[in-house]
Amino acid sequence: MTFDMNDAEPQAGGDLIPDGTFAKVTMTIRRGGSDGDSEIDRGLLKASNSPGSDVKSLDCEFTVTEGPYARRKFWQLFTVSGGKVDEKGASIGWKISKSIFRAMIDSGLGLDPRDMSEATKAKRILRGLSDLSGVTFVGVISVEPSSNPRYGDSNRLARVVLPTEPEWRRVLDGECVPPAPSKPRARSAPAAAATAAPAWNPATPAKAPQAAPAAAAVSGPSWLNG
C-alpha cells in the first residue's frame, strides 16, 4: 500500500496572524477538570497551577473560519472566579470576562448592545458557560508579546466587534478589512486578573432564531436551537 502525500495541505507556517486583524472566529471551550456553578459546567473550568492562586478560568480555543487565515487557531484563558476582587468582593477578572462573553453573543447573533427588550435579553441568558462553546462572532486579533524569553509571542483576542460597528458587516460580507494594530506594549508579566482569554452562524445574522424568553432559559441560547 502506498500513501500519496501530494494532496495533503502544506504545513502551516509559524508566523502569527498580523496584529489588528479583523476576522470571523469560532470559540470552543477545552474542558479543564474543575466544576463550574451550573450542572452543565461540571468539569468545565481550569484551575490555576500557580501556587496559592484560587483563579478558575475557561480554556478557550479560537479558530478563524474564513478569509486568508481560515483554520488558523489561537488560545486564551478567561477568568471565571478568583483573583483580585473589587470593593464589593467580586472577582475583577470575571467582570471583565462576562462583558466579553456578552459581546460575543451580541456579535454572533447580530444584537444591538443597546437593545434591552425582553426578547433580546432572553437571548443573552445561558444555562451555563458551556453554552458559549461554538459561538461564532467577529473579533479583532492582536499579537501578545511574550513575558517569558523561552516562548515566542502569541495571538489573542483583542476585542469583539459589535453589530453597531461598520467593520462587523464588512467582515460578514467577506470584505478584506484593513488591520487596526494595537499600540505597542512592553514585555511584562500578565495582569493577575487575565481575561484570557452565532446559530452560531453570523454570516446570516438577520435569520437568527427568535427564541421566546422561556425557551432561551430552558433550552440554551438561540444559536444552539438551530
Q: Using an 8 Å Cβ cutoff, are 144 and 154 in contact? A: yes
The per-residue pLDDT string of the chain (226 residues; one tens digit each, 9 = 90 and over) reads 778 787 776 655 568 999 999 999 999 999 999 999 999 999 999 999 999 899 999 999 999 999 999 999 999 999 999 999 999 999 999 999 999 999 999 999 999 999 999 999 999 999 999 999 999 999 999 999 988 888 889 999 999 999 999 999 999 999 999 999 876 555 444 433 333 334 444 444 433 333 333 434 446 655 554 3
What are the two backbone dihedrals, phi and then psi, of residue 109, each rounded to the nearest 5 degrees? Answer: -100, 0
**Taking the domains of the chain in order of start, what are their residue ranges?**
21-224
**pLDDT, position 7:** 74
Burial code of 98-125, b = ≥16 C-beta within 10 A, e = fewer? bebbebbbbbbbbbebeeeeeebebbbe
Q: Could you tell me which of 141, 198, 204, 208 has the C-alpha nearest to residue 174? A: 204
pLDDT value at residue 220: 63
Q: What is the pLDDT at residue 184?
A: 58
Distance, in Å, from the CA atom of 100 to the CA atom of 113, rounded to the nearest integer, reads 12
Retrieve residue 146's grid coordinates.
511574550
- Residue 169: enclosing H or E segment and its boundaries? helix 166-172
Quote the pLDDT of residue 1: 73
Look at residue 71 in the predicted model and tell me its pLDDT.
96
- Using DSSP's 3-state secondary structure scheme, residue 102 falls into helix
| CB-CB contact of 211 with 126 (8 Å) | no
C-alpha cell recorded at residue 180: 487596526
Residues 54 and 94 sit within 8 Å (Cβ to Cβ): no
- Which residues neighbour 39 within 8 Å (Cβ) at sequence distance 6 or greater? 128
**Angle 208-211-213 from CA coordinates, rounded to 5°:** 140
DSSP 8-state assignment for residue 129: G
> How long a stretch of residues is the chain?
226
> pLDDT at position 100, please?
97
The pTM score is 0.77
What percent helix, strand, coil does the chain show, rounded to 5?
Answer: 25, 25, 55
The pLDDT, as a whole number, for residue 13 is: 53
